[in-house]
Structure formats: C-alpha cells, structure tokens
Structure 1
Amino acid sequence: MFPRVILKGTMIKKSQQKKRTSPCNYKERYFVLDTQDLKYSERRPGKKPMMKGCIELSRIKCVEIVCSDIPIPCNFKYPFQIFHDSHYLYIFAPDNDCRLRWVRALKEETKHNNLVAKYHPNFWMDGKWRCCHQTDKLAAGCSVYDPVGYASKKPLPQLPDSEMGLHDAGQRVVIALQNYTPLGDDDLPLQKDQEYVLIKSSHPDWWAVQDSQGNTGFVPSTYVAEKSSTNFERFEWYNKKITRGEAEDLLMNEGKEGAFMVRDSRQAGVYTVSVFTKAPGSNGEKNPRVKHYQIRQSETGQGAFYLAEKYLFSTIPELIHYHQHNAADQWEVDHEELTLGQELGSGQFGLVREGTWRDRKVAVKMIREEYMSDEDFKEEARIMMRLSHCKLVQLYGVCTQRFPMCLVFEYMENGCLSDYLRDNKGRLSQDIMLGMCLDVSEGMAYLESSTFIHRDLAARNCLVSKNNEVKVSDFGMTRFVLDDQYTSSQCSKFPVKWSAPEVIKYCKFSSKSDIWSFGVLMWEVYNEGRLPYENRSNAEVVESLNAGLRLLKPRLAPDAVYLLMEWCWKEKPEDRPSFALLLHELASLSDL
C-alpha cells in the first residue's frame, strides 16, 4: 500500500550544517509530506527532480514555528523547524498560512513519536541558541513543547488591530491553561498556571490581559480560562444540551481514540465528560465504547472541580486541559491485557520477561514484593512517566492493581549493552563504538537537564535496539532532587567498580557521580564488554582509587576518547564535565 500524500509545495531550506565546516546556504526545494516521510527535491527544468533528502516521520522529535527578530536572508520570511535524530532542519514558507498548514500537518503525523519535552523557539546561530544563549546545539530546549499545539486546534487568527485598545473590564482574573510564545509585538507570553488580569474579552479569538509585572498584550482566548467563572461555551469541546445517547452516537461515528466532549448532565449545573475509547476488554479484543465521567466539585470549597479527587482545579477548562494531556488511566495496564513469554533476565528488582501488550512486543519487569512498598513503587513509576526521550527506554505503562506489580517497557531486541559488546567482539568499528557513547550521553544529558540522577549507570543497564541504537535503562530508581545531590540513607548496595569516590566514601550521589560512571561505561565499550577491574576485589579497587590510580587506556580507544574518560574520573566532582559538555565533545569527535 502506497503512503498517502498529505501536503506538497515549494519552500526554502537552510543547510543543516551537520559539521562545523559546512557552508550556510538557502536553497529552493520541492517538499512532499506523506504518511511515512518528508521528502524534498531539487527541481531541474526539463529533467526529473533530483531527490535531495528524506526524513522518516518516526524519527522527528519536534516541529514548531521559529520566532526570531533577525533579518531573514531569503525571499520566504516565515521559518519553522524540524528536529530529527540529532539535527535541526530550518524551512522557510512564503506566508504564515502556509507555515501553519505545514506545522499542523507535521505535528499531527508525529504526535505519538518520542518527542522532546522542551524546544528552542529561536535559531541556532553563531555557535549558540539565540533564545537561551546555550552554546551546546543539542542542549535541552528552553520552552515547553506542545506536540498537538497546531494539530488539534484551528490555526490562530490574525491579531486584532491595535486600535481595538486595552480597556479596563474590572479585576477579572484568568489562568493560563498552557504556555504561549508571542507571534507578534502586540501579544503577551503566557506561563502555564499563572494568573493574569483580564482587560478586554470582546474579541472572540484574542483577549487582552495584564501580567504581574504590569505588561499588557493579546493572548489566544482558548489559552486562558476565567478563574471565577464556569462559562465555557466558547470552547469547542462543550456541547450544550446534548443527551447521553446523542453524545455516544456522535463519538462512535467519529471513532477517534480519545475524542471527547463536555455536556450538560440531567442535574442542573452539573457537567459530564464523554470519552470514546478502543481499549481492549478483558478478552483482549478491541471494545469500542464511550465512557462517561461526571465532573464533581469538592466539598472543601466552591470551585474545586475534579474527575479524580486528588487532582483539583479552579475551573472546568483547567480540568479539561490537564486531562487532555495527562489521561488519568493511560498508564495503568490491565494484567489481562498482558501475554507473558520467556524470561529475559533477572536482577535485584525482580524478573524481566518478554511479553505482548496490545499487539506490541514489550519487556515486563515484575517487581519483587519485598523490594519496595506499594507507594514507593507508584512514586518511582510516576517519576519514570515524566521522562520521555529517544535515548531512554520508554515506559509504556504500569500494573499496580495486583501482585506482582509490573512495569511495561519498550522491547529492545538486542538486549543489554554489556552482552552485546561481548557477543560482537572484534566486529565493532570505531564509528559504532563512538556512536554508542553518543547515544548514552544524549540520554544522560536529558536526565541531567531534568535534574534526575541515575545512580547505577553501566553497560549492563543500557539496552540495544534492533537498529543497534543504545538507550539508557533502569533510570527509574533515581530520585528527583532540586539541589542535584542525593545522599543515600541506605547506602548498603552500590556498584563500587562504577562508583565515584564521593559515593564510596560519603554515599553522595549527583549528576557528577553519574559522569564518573559514564567514564567507566565508555571504558567498557572500548574494551568490548570487559568488566572493569575484573581481577580485583572491591577493597582493592577502593585502595587504588584512593592512591589516585585509574583504569588504563583501552587498546581500541583513541587518545581523544581516553582523555574524556580521564576527565570523567577527576577526584573532585566540580572538576568533571557536565553531560551536555561531554555530548558536545563526543559529537565533535564524530565530525572528524
């Protein structure tokens, strides 16, 4: 079956400059977006177009407009960006409608990918990001990325004329439902969950608001909700006076997973959320149906709305926006939906088995009952759910309703990195080994930017996909710490041969102790899976480290790579690099 063409047209592409010496240029290309790829070609008069590039949609991590005040050096003045693999592609559309049309379509096709949590709203230029001034091109973004933004909403209208004016409408307060990056000089940035004073609301699409610093400007009306009001007729998800049966008919006819509406309940002043789902039933077969949830109000105070009692909201639009992006039961996996297969391995946490879930091959980690309490398990799972990156093994869901409790992960066909290195000894090129270190450093840079500590980074805790991509695993045993340092209260078990001196002496974990472990992981890679200090006891290793000795240079490691290992093994944590810096240094080696 051929892929379906979605959009096609002529735009201008900026060179991706994958290497430092690559020239910067702008070239007209003919773009074709279908359900599998984004392709672009050079049109040649009298000849067949020459294909110049193809990006698989599954590899795209972010699609967003670019907001910048710099002069655009080409004829088309409306830029947008595509972040795929480790590269940024900048495309320039002839007008804003064209740009939004492409961004909406690309977002729609990629919204289920492994996407970035944050993106850079401005250009990468002259060795730094113009938005946040970070000097690492692969540094985490500085604005929250909305993967559906333009995909599920109508395109934002043109800003109203400034002559509309900003007139006082009393001290009505609105709450931002999501972040908003200004598209023009007259509008105001929004920060999710912050309160703003509503100045004018007569325009159906744009409202004038004032922030806490006294700045005023226009924002999309659907991005905010009045704090003291339940008047939400302006939202497209509200269907007044529709019965339960009519709601079921409408949603069943649409047949889209997660499609929903809010409607009036029989009881005056009460509202119901009706949601369409195709989730399999207990027999494993798909069971399309519509579920109905009444929006309730807390007895503790007027205006506290909820579907799940632990998540309270001041307004119904806030509640709807939260549950649109954080489905209450999306992470809970029914045990009956899992088919378990052969054992893949076991560890201190429990048994890992191959499995099938919703026609997808998965790895199921079954947690030993004595390992942690129910609440600890749920807290660890909650932490892992907040992490999403293409170089981390993805958590699909959890089973908490019966024992043993389970974590359901993406299946990595080639198993753990340490075994893979030993099984392929003598067959790994320098590029492959460096690529493995790059993969792990990219995943760890993401954890570092999220203020997460792994605490057990090693080749055995990284997995290899069927495409030989390496991803970091077992990061769920981390703790989220605001000061980037965690002092273990148990400190009874930790892998001494991968541990930094401050962990061995004082049980102090940080991103810098993860850096030390990463140096040992690099040593493992370039020694093709050999165990570090393989003929020494833990006590002998500690004695060597105290004497200032370090692991010797692997035979296969270039001098530049071993210098990075030694940098990771500096005695003082503050003398070690960050993962963002290491990622930059490794990437520069890959360009040589």
Structure 2
Amino acid sequence: MFPRVILKGTMIKKSQQKKRTSPSNYKERFFVLDTQDLKYSERRPGKKPMLKGCIELSRIKCVEIVCTDVPIPCSFKYPFQVFHDSHYLYIFAPDNDCRQRWVRALKEETKYNNLVAKYHPNFWMEGKWRCCQQTEKLAAGCHVYDPEGCASKKPLPQLPDPETELQDLGQQWVIALQDYTAIGDDDLSLQKDQEYLLINSSHSDWWSVQDDRGCSGFVPCTYVAEKYGNNFERFEWYNKHINRGGAEDLLMKEGKEGAFMVRDSRHAGVYTVSVFTKAPGSNGEKNPRVKHYQIRQTETGRRAFYLAEKYLFSTIPELIHYHQHNAAGLITRLRHPVSQGIRCSQEAADLSKDQWEIVPEELNLGQELGSGQFGLVLEGRWRETRVAVKMIREECMSDDEFKEEAKVMMKLSHCKLVQLYGVCTQRSPMCLVFEFMENGCLSDYLRERKGRLSQNVMLGMCLDVSEGMSYLENSNFIHRDLAARNCLVSSDNEVKVSDFGMTRFVLDDQYTSSHGSKFPVKWSAPEVIKYSKFSSKSDVWSFGVLMWEVYNEGRLPYENRSNSEVVESLNKGLRLLKPRFAQDSVYVLMEWCWKEKPEDRPSFALLLHELASISDLTTS
C-alpha cells in the first residue's frame, strides 16, 4: 500500500550542520509529507527533481515552531524545527499560516512516537542554545513539549489588569523601530515606522500595544519608542549620569571604531551623542579621538530630531537605530554601544571561542593567488580541503573591523556566493578561510578564454551573479564593490560573488559612506559618485557594468578614459556602448541598470527573472 500524501509545498531549509565547522546555508526545497516520511527535493528546470533528504516519521522526536528575535537571513521568515535522531532540521515557511499547517500535520503524525519531554524553543547558534544558553547541542530542552498542541508560545508576562492599564498610561503612542513578526498568539506583529497605542509598559521586556485595526498583543520593548517621551533607560546606549569628560575617558578606554553612547547634555532635555573614531586627521595619520554631536530638534513644524539636518526622526531611539547602520554625515557609524561599568567588548562574540574559529595548526599555507584591498590571498589546505586564505594586513584593518567583516560573511550563505569556512584569529596576521575556486577571478577567466565563450555561457555567468545578488538584496545586504574582478569561477565554470569587505547590512536599503571612503568610479552609479550613497540599486548599476565586462570578454569599461572623463560622460547622459556579443535583449537590460534615477532601475529579483526568460528563449 502506497503512503498517502498529507502536505506538499516549497519552503527553505537550513543546513543541519552535522560537522562542527560546516557553514550555515539556506536552500529552497520542495517538501512532501506523507504517512511514512518527510522528504525534500531540489527542483531543477527541465529535469526531474533530485531527492536531497528523507526523514522517517517514526524517528522524529519533536516538531515545534522556533521562537526567536534574531534576524532571519532568508526570504521566508517563519521557522519551525524537526528534531530527529540526533539532528535538528530548521525549516522556514513563507507565512505563519503555512508554518502552522505543517507543524499541526507533523505533530499529528508523530504524536505516538518516542518523543522528548522538553525541547529548545530558540535556535542553536554560535555554539549554544539561545533560549537557555546551554553549550551542549544535545542537552535536554528547557520548555515542556506538548505533542498535542498546535504551536508553542514564547513565555510572556501575564495580561495586565485592564483597570491598571487605564490608570497607568492613558493615550500614549509608540513608533516601531523595526519589523517584528508575531510568534505566539499573544504577540502582535510590528511594521517599521508605524504608530501603535501603548496599553501597558510595566513589564521589563514585553510591552502591550494596539494597532490601528484594534488588534493588541505583546512586543519586545526595545523594538518600539515612545512618540512623546524620553524613557531611554532600557536602551544599552544611554548613559544618564555621565559628563563630557567621563564619556571621553570611557570611549577612549574602549578604543573601538564607532564605540558610542548617548548622554544628557548640560541643558535639561537636550542629549548628546559621543562617538570614538580613529579616522585619519588632516595629516593622513590615525587620530584617535571622541566626537560629540548634539541631538537637535526642528524649530518649526512637527517635532523631529536630527544629527545631520537631512535625516529627521520622530524619536531619539529611531535616530540612533538609523545611524547604527548608516553614517549619514557622521564621522563613523554608531557601531558599538557603551555603558558605564559594562565593556562593549564583552557583548561582542569572541570569535576565538565559537565554532567558526580555525585552529592555526590545521591550516597549511601555499602559494600566493593574488592580492586585494586588505591583503594577500594564498592557496591553502585545511583538514585535507583545498581552501583560499585571505590574509589581513595589520595596517589596513583593525581587529574589530576584521571581526565585523567576518560576522557579515557568516550571515551570508548561498550557492552563488563564495562560502566562508571559518576564521583564524589566533595567528598573525589574522585570516579568513574560503572555499577554493579553481578558475580564479571572472575578469581573468574571461580574458584567458577570449573567443572561446558562447553567448549562452556568457548569459549563464550573468545569471549566476544575478542569483547571488538577488539573495543579498532579499537579505538586506548591499555589496558596494560588484565587478568581474570580485567574482570567482569554480572548476565546473560556476560563477560566484566574492569579496564582501565593503558589504554593509542596511535597514532602509541605503548606506551613506563616512568621509574619505573610496569606490571604483567606472563601476559606480551617479548617486555614489556625487553623494557617496549606496543601495541595492547602486549595486544594480554595477551589475550592468559587470554584464558589459562579460559580453566584452573581460575588457575594462572606459579603458582609455580617466575617472574625471567618465564622470563628465555620465553627467551628459552617455553610457557604455552595446558589446558585439550581446543580444539586443541583453543590452536592453544593461541600459535598464544604468538609468539615472535609482528608482527607475530594476531589482535583482526582476533582473534574474528577465535573464532567465532570455535563457529559456535561447535554449528552446
């Protein structure tokens, strides 16, 4: 008798990381649940799906939603977990209804199994359970597992007494600093910049709010800010009783680029942002110092706060949240909040202690492969695996900047991105260890095979890059240095995006570089050249230039022109000419990437769709 299919659909799975050092990755899979197994397959255009995994239902010990406040680095934002044998499979559904259907169905099919008594409601990350901080992956859970229940709820404070609510607050409003997805039935989803009525704020971590439809629920208190108020004590960046000198002493002692705090000014009701920087002075040498910026208010119209006049915010927490990810006129981004008595460095993950740290003795270095902005790239062997090792020049990047780049790389995992295997901080110079790409950088690959690449191969290269960039776009990352030289080619001629040294995580799809930032003019959009404003749409412009490089077999764009001549041509509306090997439909996409206004350019998701359509036409 054949098993009966119960559910099927497309979701995203995360690597089970059975090996301690294996990188996280998120892959789209087609899941099928029947009365015997949970299977998932890779769909391949024009080919039969390839089975990638099969879990017997009888081996499943727990199925539950994952309650977490960490950013979800893939496009599906609703995780649930399947614990089987000694492995955890994390699956990400496109919406909460879909997640509930799968959890209910799996629980129903496994409720008579040999189940766990307790489970972990949060992720296993960075060598520990986020819910209970246990460092053994197979440690007993910390919450009672209910095999009959639909989905567990995050433990929340008791509902406040209605009479107390009305006496407490009255009509007080808050603004969402960022999106929040409701996890339990008592939660309420937040949408960034939307206003909510504050019902109760008596709990230290969870506040009760109501949206404009009358729906109410709990939200993390640090995700919202009072529209009219100055209750900052719950934010780690606020230091109430510290003067200018004390702030300078504390930040200089911290000594980390972008270390900052918000403090009371001498004038009542006025606040100052103090930030540490090592930015070079007028003589070009590093100049460690603390800069102070008074938070100002607009004098006319609606009340708004600002540090740089073009960037106005309704509340101070909104302003700080924005500048933590965007310098926007400041000497540096507000990177590391510092509090009195609490060293910021204690909060940052120590890379030498987590699963990404590579033991120096396990890493053997070989010949030089090339050099980049931050140092040499060497071939190497790590545990019998051929790798590329990016050495960091000590004078080019501080320890903190290195760790920041590593953290960025660790958040990103896709088959069209060069994968980071780990970091080595216990040797000098420190280094990043990547997967080895046998055919080197794309620009050299194109030049070496000049005259031997078909249009279909060139189109496939552009498809590869657009797929990787679409993932970055969906994950709210911008690359800032996309070019053929920063893409690598594998042994089977697959192209992957590399070099994320300039990548930034952005909240509003925009990054304004701090003073003195350099960028490659011939790959840069007009708004980057004029205002140093980067976004996914400036990456799209660079992708258009990369397509031009591919279809010109590695030729440099504007190769006989200086940077100033290129800027002059762009200001006149001139663009790169159509490459000889590019179909008209491909050049139309290039021109679309080079629209003057960022909002007129396509997204990477749309570019990927259009390139795939061209590919379908050429292969049919």
Shorter-chain TM band? 0.5 to 0.7
One-letter identity of the residue aligned with 2:581: L
Matched, 1:212 2:158: no
CA shift in 2, pair 1:85/1:372, >3 Å:
farther
1:429 matched residue in structure 2: 454
Whole-Å separation in 2 of the counterparts to 1:340 and 1:440: 29
Whole-Å separation in 2 of the counterparts to 1:431 and 1:184: 52
2:27 matched residue in structure 1: 61
Contact 1:362 1:411 in 2 (8 A): yes
Matched, 1:466 2:466: no
Superimposed CA distance per residue, residues 246-283 of structure 1 (whole angstroms, 9 cap, x where no aligned partner): xxxxxxxxxxxxxxxxxxxxxxxxxxxxxxxxxxxxxx
2:150 matched residue in structure 1: 187
Whole-Å separation in 2 of the counterparts to 1:63 and 1:97: 14
CA shift in 2, pair 1:66/1:526, >3 Å:
same
Equivalent position SS for 2:458: helix
Equivalent position SS for 2:504: coil
CA shift in 2, pair 1:214/1:400, >3 Å:
closer
- 1:503 Cα deviation (Å)? 0.4
CA shift in 2, pair 1:558/1:507, >3 Å:
same
- 1:336 Cα deviation (Å)? 2.1
The number of equivalent residue pairs is 376
Equivalent position SS for 2:108: coil
Whole-Å separation in 1 of the counterparts to 2:85 and 2:585: 45
Within the candidate set 45, 68, 76, 1:141 is matched to: 76
One-letter identity of the residue aligned with 1:528: E
Matched, 1:385 2:410: yes
Whole-Å separation in 2 of the counterparts to 1:507 and 1:214: 37
- 1:432 Cα deviation (Å)? 0.9
- 1:214 Cα deviation (Å)? 9.6
Within the candidate set 177, 180, 194, 2:122 is matched to: 177
Whole-Å separation in 1 of the counterparts to 2:563 and 2:83: 52
1:158 matched residue in structure 2: 108
CA shift in 2, pair 1:567/1:184, >3 Å:
farther
- 1:176 Cα deviation (Å)? 3.3
Matched, 1:487 2:450: no
- 1:78 Cα deviation (Å)? 8.7
Whole-Å separation in 2 of the counterparts to 1:581 and 1:332: 38
* TM, length-normalised to structure 2: 0.52
CA shift in 2, pair 1:153/1:440, >3 Å:
closer
CA shift in 2, pair 1:14/1:309, >3 Å:
closer
Q: Give % identity.
A: 63
Contact 1:414 1:466 in 2 (8 A): yes
Contact 1:567 1:577 in 2 (8 A): yes
Matched, 1:329 2:292: no
Contact 1:176 1:195 in 2 (8 A): no
1:36 matched residue in structure 2: none
Within the candidate set 540, 554, 561, 1:515 is matched to: 540
Contact 2:57 2:110 in 1 (8 A): no
Within the candidate set 573, 580, 584, 2:598 is matched to: 573
CA shift in 2, pair 1:459/1:100, >3 Å:
farther
Contact 2:462 2:547 in 1 (8 A): yes
Equivalent position SS for 2:439: coil
- 1:568 Cα deviation (Å)? 0.4
Equivalent position SS for 2:592: helix
One-letter identity of the residue aligned with 1:507: S
- 1:372 Cα deviation (Å)? 1.4
Whole-Å separation in 2 of the counterparts to 1:154 and 1:332: 22
One-letter identity of the residue aligned with 2:577: L
Matched, 1:503 2:466: no
Whole-Å separation in 2 of the counterparts to 1:532 and 1:76: 58
Whole-Å separation in 2 of the counterparts to 1:103 and 1:514: 45
CA shift in 2, pair 1:545/1:337, >3 Å:
same
One-letter identity of the residue aligned with 2:76: G
Whole-Å separation in 1 of the counterparts to 2:593 and 2:476: 19
Superimposed CA distance per residue, residues 364-393 of structure 1 (whole angstroms, 9 cap, x where no aligned partner): 111111111111111111111111111110
The 5 Å alignment of 1:187-586 reads: 187-188=150-151, 194-196=154-156, 211-213=185-187, 310=347, 328-586=353-611
Whole-Å separation in 2 of the counterparts to 1:176 and 1:154: 12
CA shift in 2, pair 1:159/1:539, >3 Å:
same
- 1:401 Cα deviation (Å)? 2.1
Superimposed CA distance per residue, residues 459-502 of structure 1 (whole angstroms, 9 cap, x where no aligned partner): 00000000100000002321112111111113442110000000
Structure 1, unmatched stretches of 5+, are 1-8, 18-58, 68-74, 105-116, 120-139, 162-173, 200-208, 216-307, 313-322
Equivalent position SS for 1:176: coil
- 1:152 Cα deviation (Å)? 3.3
Within the candidate set 68, 72, 82, 2:41 is matched to: 82
The 5 Å alignment of 1:77-116 reads: 81-83=40-42, 89=49
- 1:334 Cα deviation (Å)? 2.1
Superimposed CA distance per residue, residues 536-558 of structure 1 (whole angstroms, 9 cap, x where no aligned partner): 11111000000000000001001
Structure 2, unmatched stretches of 5+, are 11-24, 63-71, 90-105, 112-118, 124-130, 132-145, 160-182, 190-344
Whole-Å separation in 1 of the counterparts to 2:32 and 2:9: 15
Whole-Å separation in 2 of the counterparts to 1:309 and 1:403: 22
- 1:141 Cα deviation (Å)? 3.0
- 1:195 Cα deviation (Å)? 3.4
Whole-Å separation in 1 of the counterparts to 2:6 and 2:453: 35
One-letter identity of the residue aligned with 1:141: F
One-letter identity of the residue aligned with 2:421: Y
One-letter identity of the residue aligned with 1:468: N
One-letter identity of the residue aligned with 2:363: L
Whole-Å separation in 1 of the counterparts to 2:185 and 2:35: 34
Contact 1:392 1:471 in 2 (8 A): yes
Equivalent position SS for 1:448: helix
- 1:451 Cα deviation (Å)? 0.9
Contact 1:391 1:439 in 2 (8 A): yes
Q: RMSD of the TM alignment (CA)? A: 4.7
Contact 2:392 2:429 in 1 (8 A): yes
- 1:188 Cα deviation (Å)? 3.1
Superimposed CA distance per residue, residues 54-100 of structure 1 (whole angstroms, 9 cap, x where no aligned partner): xxxxx993556468xxxxxxx99998542356799499x9xx99668
Contact 1:453 1:478 in 2 (8 A): yes
* TM, length-normalised to structure 1: 0.55
- 1:425 Cα deviation (Å)? 0.9
Whole-Å separation in 2 of the counterparts to 1:494 and 1:359: 37
Superimposed CA distance per residue, residues 221-251 of structure 1 (whole angstroms, 9 cap, x where no aligned partner): xxxxxxxxxxxxxxxxxxxxxxxxxxxxxxx
Superimposed CA distance per residue, residues 336-361 of structure 1 (whole angstroms, 9 cap, x where no aligned partner): 22111111001221111111111011
Contact 1:63 1:103 in 2 (8 A): no
- 1:402 Cα deviation (Å)? 2.9
- 1:403 Cα deviation (Å)? 1.7
